[in-house]
Chains A and B, each alone.
Chain A
Amino acid sequence: MGQVIIRDFDIPADDFLAAGEASSAVRKLLSQLGVAPDRIKRTAIAMYEAEINAVIHGHGGKAHVEIRGDKITIVISDKGPGIEDLELAMQEGYSTAPDSIREMGFGAGMGLPNIKKHADELVINTEKGKGTAVTITVYF
């Protein structure tokens, strides 16, 4: 079976700089485990985008990470408003982010498409008014 390494992180609301910390910590863990650089990079990008989404749309949230011998699974969950139209949200350039966020260089409508591009598997569970959980898997 092999060991499973588990990590949990809080994603604080309205703090874009702190939002990158969890994905940086995961990047370091994967380097220690000897995962190939391109897989580490894809993981870091996908996780970072999901963290940023939780900050922008979800009033912060949590990241749960499980690393096994063959893959990493990351669940980013928030108690935000949920995604109204998932199909639309997956389209490049579609965004519901307010202008204040866009002015900071975020909210360009590339978040979910970018996660999809870098993850091997992406599962989104969302419920209006309850929140969203994004599950990202990258195989090593």
Chain B
Amino acid sequence: MEQIYFHSVTLDKDKCRGCTNCIKHCPTEAIRVRNGKAVIINERCIDCGECIRICPYHAKKAVTDTFEAIRDYEYKIALPAPSLYGQFGPSYTRERILKGLLGLGFDQVFEVARAAEIVTMATQKYLSNPDIKKPLISSACPAVVRLIQVRFPSLIDRLIQIKSPMEVAAALAKNEAMEKGIPADRIGAFFISPCAAKVTSVKAPYENSRSDVDGVLAIKDIYVPLLEMMKKQKETVDIQLDLSGSVGVSWAGSGGESSALKEGRYIAVHGIRNVNAILEQTVKESLEDIDFIEALACPEGCLGGPLVAENPFVAKANLRNEATRAPEGIRQAPLGYDQQYIWESNVEYRPILKLDDDMLKALEKMHKIDGLTEELPGLDCGACGAPSCRALAEDIVMGNAVLTDCIVKLREKVDELESE
């Protein structure tokens, strides 16, 4: 069962100053300022992390697991996202980073980049089906999947229903561990994540009934201990590591996933507003000559995730370095059978914008909203706590705000009372 209202993105009330930055930048208008503090409207939030990036007071945060959580399991598996390799300069090679993770107490590392290569192969197969209507949209970014779920219901059947590299990596790594004779309940798989939305998709997955990932650690939380560990360790890597090729490593940045597909016309779009614009065109079927859309909510893709430690553009240079060092192309051999990578459940339309279940009542409400919008000053200043005058009008009609929340209207009213 999907827990609809779980979200990774939350507010630190003490740090919030009630400014208008987050309400203005939220792509789904999911935030209001009420009584001087931001409030996230849970059913509207898609966990894209825009508010985390924009908040000048760092009052928005993503709830992730602490490193201590790995101690709950006897056999600990690290699942590093490919974006982790972009966080360190050239002397910290991918091999050193993976060895560093083992040094921190993990018993096994399984690169999510390896799973990304498997997903690439599965996607190539999926796209080769001539009966599927194109363009198809990658489902690798959970914030984009949520955006489609709330805003673009007619594109749900365009989503490629292949599990994300994180889920594939967790399942394969656990299988490897179980083959060594370790009981399933003693194995813990931890995703080292650049992404807040991944936390949500682990707790409330849309592709499985239950995620194979047991915890999510933020890259920025593990960054310093990992760096210290690497400095302490010998630079030579004396252990045997199963490494992905350049295709898997490149998945971390925008264009990585799509360029690996080789055949067909593709779009690689990043940044939630750009994604929104492309999906808007896709709905109107004006991109029918495109086969595949890679859509990532963060600027520069996962390298620009809200939980990374390094500037995304610097990380891009670091990642390019690692991709060049990696064996060219796909190194991962096909594993398992096709069906095991296909979603076991589906996403459903979540009509968050709906004013009323009864169409005639919805029309009445919209008419009232139109009237109120006319009456409001049209400044879209945000001082009322809603992102625009229209959004305030909607809130008033839906019973969540009053007209005098508008400071211009309040002043008019005060002037009126004074002149009486």
Contact = CB atoms under 8 A, between A and B. Distances in A.
Interface in A31-45: 31-35, 37-38, 40-41, 44-45
A64 B7 CA distance: 40
A3 interface: yes
Given A34-B355, A140-B359, A105 B364 contact: no
Interface string A4-24: 110000000000000010011
B311 interface: no
Given A3-B366, A40-B154, A33 B281 contact: no
A38 B360 contact: no
B367 A3 contact: yes
A11 B284 CA distance: 17
Contact of A28 (B353, B359, B367): B353
B353 A32 contact: yes
Interface of A: 2-5, 20, 23-24, 27-29, 31-35, 37-38, 40-41, 44-45, 48, 67-69, 105, 140
B280 A20 contact: yes
B284 A23 contact: yes
Q: In this complex, which of B356, B362, B363 has the most chain A Cβ atoms within 10 angstroms of its Cβ?
A: B363
B357 A20 contact: no
Given A5-B367, A41-B154, A69-B359, A48 B353 contact: no
Contacts of A32: 353-355, 362, 366
Interface string B284-308: 1110010000000000000000000
Contacts of B286: 20, 48
Contact of A3 (B284, B349, B351, B364): B364
A31 B353 contact: yes
B153 interface: yes
B374 interface: no
A28 B363 CA distance: 13
Task: Describe B's contact surface by its main secondary structure.
Answer: helix
Interface size class of B (residues with CB under 8 A): 20 to 34
Contacts, number: 68
A31 B354 contact: yes
Given A3-B367, A37-B154, A38-B154, A20 B360 contact: no
Contacts of B349: 37
Task: Describe A's contact surface by its main secondary structure.
Answer: helix
Contact of A33 (B153, B285, B363, B370): B363
A3 to B, nearest CB: 4
B283 interface: yes
Contacts of A48: 284, 286
16 contacts: A2-B363, A3-B364, A3-B366, A5-B366, A20-B281, A27-B283, A28-B353, A31-B351, A31-B353, A31-B354, A32-B355, A33-B354, A33-B366, A34-B354, A34-B357, A45-B284
Given A3-B363, A3-B367, A5-B363, A34 B284 contact: no
Interface string B354-382: 11110110111011001000000000000
Interface of B: 151, 153-154, 280-281, 283-286, 289, 349, 351, 353-357, 359-360, 362-364, 366-367, 370
Contact of B280 (A5, A24, A105): A24
Contacts of B357: 34
Given A105-B289, A140-B359, A34 B366 contact: no
Contact of A44 (B284, B353, B354, B366): B284
* 5 cross-chain pairs, A with B, having the tightest CB-CB distances, nearest first: A37-B153, A41-B154, A3-B363, A48-B284, A3-B367
Nearest to A31: B353
Contacts of A40: 153-154
A41 B364 CA distance: 23
Given A31-B151, A34-B354, A45-B284, 12 more contacts: A2-B364, A31-B353, A32-B366, A33-B355, A34-B355, A34-B359, A35-B359, A37-B153, A37-B154, A40-B154, A45-B285, A105-B289
A38 B351 CA distance: 13
A33 B285 CA distance: 22
Nearest to B349: A37
B283 A41 contact: yes
Q: In this complex, which of B153, B154, B281 has the most chain A Cβ atoms within 10 angstroms of its Cβ?
A: B154
A48 B282 CA distance: 12
A140 to B, nearest CB: 7
